[in-house]
Structure 1
Amino acid sequence: MTDAAGGSDPPAPPHAVVCVLGQTGAGKTRLAVDIALENGGEVVNCDAMQVYAGLPIATAQASAEEMRGVPHHMLGCVDPTGAVASDAVAGGDRAPGSLAGAIDVRDFRDAALGVIANVIARGKTPVLVGGSDYYLRAVVSESLLDEGEDARAVESSDEDQDDADAATRKTKLDRTKGEPTVGPNDTRDEAAALAAHARLREVDPVSAAKIHPRNTRRVRRYLEIRDSTGEPASEIFARRRRAAADAMRFRSLFLCMRATNDELDLALRRRVDAMLAAGLVRELEAFAAKAKARGASDDARGASQSIGFHEWGRYLRARGFEWTSGEGKDGDAGEGEDVDALRAEAVEAMKADTCRLARRQLRRCRRLERAFGWRVIYLDSTATHAGLRVGDDAAARSAWAKDVREPALAATVSFLAGEDPGGGGAAPSEEEPWTERRCEACDKTLRGETEWRSHVEGKRHRNRIAALRKKREGKHGTRQQASAES
């Protein structure tokens, strides 16, 4: 379109959306509803599993009470057994198209964009809530799907990093930064790790400065990226950050809900107990029976892999639901299995898996900043959970208002007004270059403050320093000499 002077009209500014990310059980739904109520918004689910119908308890979908009258979309709108479901119970629209069976991220993206367009057309603010940042990324940015080989290489390196992070925990860790230390008997492995890291330092010094040499899987993956693409991963990441900034479909505010591991673990275990009391087992049995009766294909098995379902596979098979996939102890359940024991096993597995998921989600939120340059505001609900744990509802409400609701609403109001939303709670520790320090006494190179502190406080280092001191003072071996003279 041209104006009266014959020039082109400037492009319309992108619409604003508020995105609530973060750890499961930390309070994403509650915050999203708070924001929607205060800003005339509607909630759009971007969780990969909550889109499926038939498992509202297992996938922790918002209840009508939790929605507080706010329309919710893309929630329980796809029947994984093959039929198209409606999300009318959530007060929202049916997802566009005929979504049925298992859907992938592109199916979800296309449907969600139609829903968001309808919300904006009604003059409302879309509030996107995602436990799966992958689905939310696909919605808000054009650059994160259908990319080239370099992007896929880096994406898979991110996935490997989750595995590497888990493997690193098997070594000694600093509880606050997760820095590994090399054990005293790891000489051969250390030599190989240092050699690989030395090569990474040659071909990608930026990445090498941020990856500990003992994180061998990540070092190896970054070398593979360099070999397969001909470019350092750090340069590919930088290009992706620029592309992501230039290809945003919406002007987006990112709010991340988090809590400390100790407090959130307890809250998640309580939540699983509440799910059981609400009828989780009956829901799973009904879903499995429906899928079996319909002769559901492997499409439905996709939903059964969600946390809250797959841990119950062995129990459900023992109960006669042969269609069911899932985990438990190795092997299939057979006749004579102790169903009560399988139920208890499934409960504990579900609690453990949920806690692990929460940790992984926080790492992925930090990755959004590192890989794509997105600014994320962190909000901490630890004190809220602590109050709920001890039954102090007044303290929990006060903590929620102070630590979460008020700063989130202030950021949202500023953002929607086109202003800088400001900072937020403290982010998880950023990935910083490793600082090498040399212990001449022990002839050892240490990387990172935690390794250094662990080394200098260790018995072997203290003994070495004491021996050198005695040697300087001429006292080395005096105890043995005195014993011999006596």
Structure 2
Amino acid sequence: MGPTGAGKSRLSIDLATRFFNNAEIINSDKMQVYRGLGITTNKITMQEQLGVPHHFLGEFDPIKSVVKPHDFRKLASETISDIISRRGLPLVVGGSNSFIYSLITKRFDPQSDVFNGPDPDPVSSELRYKCCFIWVDVCLPVLNQYLSKRVDEMLDSGMLEELAEFFGSGEHLTVNRSGLGQAIGVPEFEGYFTTVEEDVVRQVEVYNDAVRRIKDNTCQLAKRQVGKILRLKDAGWDLKRIDATEAFREVMTADSGGGRVAEIWEKQVVEASVKIVKQFLEE
């Protein structure tokens, strides 16, 4: 668990490839469950997966109905049962806490909302699985700085071209607005791709505004996600917090070498997580 950009996918691959070889990953990011927009939704690439089986990663048609929390509960629980029947270790990985809550809580009411609104419903502390919760956390000021950098890197990696094809093909008119159509990057860039700007200066302004809004909205998403995690923790969920701040601070250091980042990540995030999971499995 953890906010967007905190390194959940990286940690899951570290655990699955080096310590728990029978692990299979269940994606619980509600934008990454849909096909398409791999860069925009920051899906882990096939190369980065290192052969670890992934479930619900780009599996659902974005044109059809939205994958709701109760849908995820049913599908993910069936997958967990299948993994366990093969003596595998299911790792649920993603930042959508509504998906995680729907899957884990013993009595889930699709009509309830424990996270949003002025008077959210009470969080249930009755869980239907014995879980080991790893909360990868990064100090928000550092994370916000990193998220801004990550948006620039996504644009450099082809996000703009991906969105150009998405809007140019008319796919933005067919995807469900409550599903993939909500992915950060789609609404922000819609005006840039659907409005003809003959003034080059104005076109640049529209582009820069879209990028700024993507960065702002990504940081706001991270803040909301942390708030939801704290709500679960306050309700008694036994979340094991792993502080990855120092590794991210090192990433943001201009003259920092990758070796130093990897060293900090290994010691403070991977080793700490392995210890927690091994203790959990031995209980």
TM-score between both structures, scaled by the size of structure 2: 0.90
Matching residue's letter, 1:49: M
Structure 1 equivalent of residue 275 of structure 2: 410
Superposed, 1:101-112 pairs within 5 Å as 101-112=65-76
> 1:145: how far off?
2.3
Q: 2:164 is matched by which residue type in structure 1?
A: E
Which residue of structure 1 aligns with residue 214 of structure 2? 350
Give the 5 Å matches for 1:282-321.
Answer: 282-292=161-171, 296=174, 299-300=176-177, 302-318=179-195
In structure 1, what residue type is equivalent to 2:250? G
Counterpart check, 1:159 vs 2:116 = yes
1:66 deviates by 2.3
Matched residues in 2 for 1:365 and 1:266: separation? 21
The answer to whether 1:27 aligns with 2:7 is yes
Superposed, 1:206-245 pairs within 5 Å as: 221=119, 237=122, 241=124, 244-245=125-126
AA in 2 matched with 1:160: G
Q: Does 1:369 align with 2:230?
A: no
How far apart, CA to CA, are the structure 1 residues paired with 2:174 and 2:3?
32
Work out which of the two has the higher radius of gyration on C-alpha atoms and give 1 or 2. 1
- Distance in 1 of aligned mates of 2:251 and 2:103: 34
How much has 1:138 moved relative to structure 2? 1.0
Post-superposition offset of 1:60: 0.9
| SS of residue paired to 1:127 | strand
The one-letter amino acid paired with 2:143 is L
Q: Could you list the per-position Cα deviations for residues 92-151 of structure 1 after superposition, in whole angstroms to 9, with x for gaps in the alignment?
A: xxxxxxxx442222222222222222222221100001211100111122323246xxxx
Q: Is the 8 A contact 2:31 2:179 kept in 1?
A: no
Deviation readout 1:220-239 (Å, 9 max, x if unpaired): x4xxx9xxxxxxxxxx84xx
Please name the residue that 1:275 is paired with.
Answer: 154
Q: Do 2:69 and 2:110's aligned partners in 1 also have CA atoms closer than 8 Å?
A: no
Q: Relative contact order, CA 8 A, sep 6+: which one is greater?
A: 2
Distance in 1 (CA, whole Å) between partners of 2:224 and 2:97 is 11
Specify the alignment match of 2:266 in structure 1.
Answer: 401
8 Å Cα contact 1:80/1:300 also seen in 2: no
Q: Is the 8 A contact 2:97 2:229 kept in 1?
A: yes
Aligned twin of 1:383:
246
Distance 1:59 1:22 in 2: 16
Task: Please give the alpha-carbon distance, in whole angstroms, between the structure 2 residues aligned to 1:121 and 1:356.
Answer: 40
Query: Do 1:120 and 1:126's aligned partners in 2 also have CA atoms closer than 8 Å?
Result: yes
Write the deviation string for residues 196-237 of structure 1: whole angstroms up to 9, x where unpaired: xxxxxxxxxxxxxxxxxxxxxxxxx4xxx9xxxxxxxxxx84
Percentage identity across paired residues of the two chains: 31
Assess if the C-alpha contact under 8 Å between 1:47 and 1:132 holds in 2: yes
Equivalent AA in structure 1 for residue 273 of structure 2:
A
Q: What's the CA shift for 1:394? A: 2.2
**Separation in structure 2 between the aligned mates of residue 78 and residue 300 of structure 1, nearest angstrom:** 14
1:143 is aligned to: 107
Q: Which residue of 1 aligns with 2:224?
A: 360
Contact 2:136/2:244 (<8 A) preserved: yes
Give the letter aligned to residue 33 of structure 1.
I
Deviations 1:16-54 (A, max 9, x none): xxxxx0111111111111222211211110111110111
Residue 266 (structure 1) aligned with residue 150 (structure 2): no
Q: Deviations over 1:67-105 (max 9, x none)?
A: 122111100111212xxxxxxxxxxxxxxxxxx442222
Alignment partners' CA distance in 1, 2:72 and 2:199:
43
Residue 256 of structure 1: CA displacement? 0.7
State the AA in 2 paired with 1:350.
I
In 2, are the aligned partners of 1:58 and 1:280 still within 8 Å (CA)?
Answer: yes
Change beyond 3 A, Cα 1:393–1:292: closer
Could you tell me how far 1:300 is from its partner in structure 2?
4.8
* Contact 2:132 2:277 (C-alpha < 8 Å) held by counterparts: yes
| Residue 360 to residue 130, structure 1, CA distance change in 2 (3 Å) | same
Question: Quick one: structure 1 residues 310 and 409, their matched pair in 2 at CA, closer, same or farther if it must change by over 3 Å?
Answer: same
State how far apart, in whole Å, the 1-side matches of 2:258 and 2:145 are.
17
Deviations 1:345-394 (A, max 9, x none): 111111111111111111111101223x2110111111111222222222
Change (3 A) 1:292 1:412: closer
Q: Where in structure 2 are there 5+ consecutive unaligned residues?
A: none
Q: Structure 1 length as normaliser, TM-score? A: 0.54
Tell me how far 1:292 sits from its aligned partner: 4.3
